[in-house]
Amino acid sequence: MMFFEEAREQLQALEAGLMDLEARREDRAHLDRTFRAAHTLKGAAGMVGLASIAQFTHGVEAVLDRIRSATLVPTPEIISLLLAAKDHLGGTIDAEEAERPIPDGTALSEQLSAIVEGRFPASGPAPAQVSVPALDVITTAVQPTEPKSYRITLTPHQRAFRKGINPLGMLDELRELGTARVTAECAGVPPLDLLDPRDCFMAWTVELKTRVSPARLDEVFLFLDEPGQVTIDLEDASRPPSAATASEPSTAESAESSVTPAPIPESTAAAQRPTTAAKGAPAGRIRVEAEQLDELVSMAGELAILTDSLQRLGTLEGAEPWAGTLEGLERLGRRLREATLELRMVAVEELFVRFPRVVRDMAERTGKQISLRIEGEDTRLDRTIIERLAEPMIHLLRNAVDHGLETPEERVAGGKPAEGRITIGAGHEGDRVAIRVSDDGRGLDRARVARKGIALGMLPPDTPPSDPRVANLIFEPGFSTREKVGELSGRGVGLDVVRDAIRSLQGSVTLRSAEGKGTTFLIRLPLTLAMIDGLLIEVAGGHFVVPMGQVDECVALATEGSMSTMGRPAAIVRGELLPIISLREMFGGAPQDVDPDRRELLLTRHGEQRVAVEVDRLLGRVQAVIQPLGDNLAGLRRFSGATILGDGSICLILDLPTLVSVARATENAAYFQQSSPEASAV
């Protein structure tokens, strides 16, 4: 039900808040936001009858309340405990949703109570420091297109100060939501002889122009737990907030001539808060099932392909009266496809937001000091890709922490700062998205990798460390140069999984590394998986589609320019020697109507090297709606899916990187067999 989705959003906001708690302990607005995430979760769980979640969250809320009232300092130990509590809540929410037994949180609850009651023992040395850039809390309210003007009156309860309510924090939060003009209403503040200075007599009026939803405005005042303290009136949207003038009298100046004002009574006359949203205001967001959205996208894509085909009808004799209609249909189909594809796009921030916590936990376990930098988090990518990128990226982060970054002592001995740095960045490269994971650690030890590769028979015996094939070995299954299994990795399971996961997303992963300086993994991905731009090719009489993102360029070479090196076909393209892999030989079959004097080559990247893949014919570009192969054919790694062409025929989509890997491995095995028949096959 919707509670579980919203609960996970609140947990995400809670975690983001906890990660910054130590650095922003003086930031009242941040403390309030973090508290509010727990408070909202507790309330929502109580409303749907999930008492276990409500009760446990109450313990978290109580600790956060102590922190925001400045009666408790958020030490690293306390933050770690709160993060563990957040994880427990995540597990409990999952269990409740799946109707499984919920995990036992008794021990954690007891520790939270101990903190509130001042019984929490001091722990050992502080864990490794993790500094991360502040991540803004993601607001869930969708902003209406046009800004609206509101007049907000805030009259905190007389006991507000004693209850830890911070009106100034609320004012700051309103300022963050739009253009605000704040006026203090000082008329209610009594003179000194009548003032109990611990009571609150001030009030405020805020004229706010904002695009956020009324629900979002309500959230600002969530802590005002007694009615009548705030009113939010929607004003005429065309009228801007009134500008201040020096001569404009403040409402408080009436106090100059008034008799001593009486303190504001405990219960105010305005017991109700007027409806903030005008009737008929558009809903901010609706939730749909992901499968429904995928089906819509698929149908829109097929419609676009069909309408493309219909264009051919417009060229038939006598079809002139229909030309305009066909053109309009084609335009509409294309717009529908683009709009539905856009629905699938989300910012990578949704993915990146979980990594500060991951890095923090890894730093704790390994005793390393790590700073994490995140860039380009508003880059947008297909939702499915985002979801499936989490695991491979966590693998890469583990690799960076375990293999890449040195211990603080090693770094200082090497003239580096004790704190290592990991950078995650995202950006566009043409029609692709590039995501990089970099570290400033020890870099790839090419000599060691080459030795291991030779020992395992994956490389020829005389392969120098500088050979481009050396770096690719770390992506091979079971390859690891670690003598010991580490805390996080070293079992030889990891980067091959990363590579396969990225390939399944129609992407590629490469690495650049400099010994002693660091390593960068670069992931290139299509913007969406729903449709691809592809090249339609012919091989041995069959048609296939190759994703454009996997092809650097297409080249036609005269056959007489071909050569061979080490017994294998090769070609020189603009001075670059490229091995040739023939798809016809891989698939079997005879060429049909192929020009014998000409070779059609697709140049593709294989690790740090380029390879030429030979096809019989290039037939043109297509846009392919990707259809999964189904369970029976899902193991065919050489094909990433299928598509239906405009003429209704079914066509397989090739996974070019896998095909090249298979071909190269076969060639290497054959080479070793020839040069040393006793050598074991890879």
79 or 177, CB closer to another protein?
177
Residue 171 is a binding residue for another protein (CB under 8 A): yes
> Taking CB under 8 A as the criterion, which residues in 240-279 touch another protein?
244, 250, 252-253, 255-256, 258, 260
Question: What's the sign of the alpha-carbon dihedral 578, 579, 584, 590?
Answer: positive
Smallest gap from Cβ 231 to another protein, in A, equals: 17
Residue 73 is a binding residue for another protein (CB under 8 A): no
Going by C-alpha positions, the residue among 289, 313, 347 that lies closest to residue 646 is 313
Among 17, 76, 144, 167, binds another protein (CB under 8 A): 167
Among 47, 168, 319, 514, binds another protein (CB under 8 A): 168
Backbone φ and ψ of 129, nearest 5°: -75, 135
Among 195, 278, 634, 670, binds another protein (CB under 8 A): 195
256 or 291, CB closer to another protein?
256
Round to whole Å and give the CA distance between 548 and 56: 51
Residue 659 is a binding residue for another protein (CB under 8 A): no
Among 186, 234, 293, 345, binds another protein (CB under 8 A): 186
17 or 169, CB closer to another protein?
169
- Retrieve residue 87's tokens: 């994880």
Which distant-in-sequence residues (6+ apart) come within 8 Å of 364 by Cβ? 80, 127, 128
Instruction: Name 575's bridge partners.
Output: none
198 or 279, CB closer to another protein?
198
206 or 470, CB closer to another protein?
206
Residue 577 is a binding residue for another protein (CB under 8 A): no
- Retrieve residue 154's tokens: 């805030």
Residue 204 is a binding residue for another protein (CB under 8 A): yes
182 or 299, CB closer to another protein?
182
- Retrieve residue 643's tokens: 């598509």
Cα–Cα distances in Å, from 443 out to 221, 288, 373, 401, 524? 50, 45, 19, 12, 21
Stretch that binds another protein, among 137-145, 175-183, 303-311, 422-430 (CB under 8 A): 175-183
Which distant-in-sequence residues (6+ apart) come within 8 Å of 287 by Cβ? 2, 5
- The SS3 assignment for 310 reads helix
Q: By the 8 A CB rule, do 465 and 515 touch?
A: no
Q: How do beta strands 230-234 and 178-185 pair?
A: unpaired
Smallest gap from Cβ 262 to another protein, in A, equals: 13
Residue 479 is a binding residue for another protein (CB under 8 A): no
Residue 158 is a binding residue for another protein (CB under 8 A): no
With CB under 8 A as the rule, give the number of residues binding another protein: 34
92 or 231, CB closer to another protein?
231
Round to whole Å and give the CA distance between 677 and 682: 13
Round to whole Å and give the CA distance between 206 and 179: 10
Residue position matching structure tokens 């009574």: 265
H or E element that contains 585: helix 583-587
Cα–Cα distances in Å, from 593 out to 539, 620, 623? 11, 17, 25
Smallest gap from Cβ 255 to another protein, in A, equals: 6
* Residue 298, Cβ density class (10 Å: 0-12 exposed, 13-18 middle, ≥19 buried): middle
264 or 363, CB closer to another protein?
264
Residue 547 is a binding residue for another protein (CB under 8 A): no
Stretch that binds another protein, among 107-115, 189-197, 275-283, 598-606 (CB under 8 A): 189-197
Smallest gap from Cβ 45 to another protein, in A, equals: 32
Q: By the 8 A CB rule, do 657 and 551 touch?
A: no
Using CB under 8 A, list all residues that contact another protein: 161-162, 166-168, 171-172, 181-184, 186, 189-193, 195, 197-198, 200-202, 204-206, 244, 250, 252-253, 255-256, 258, 260
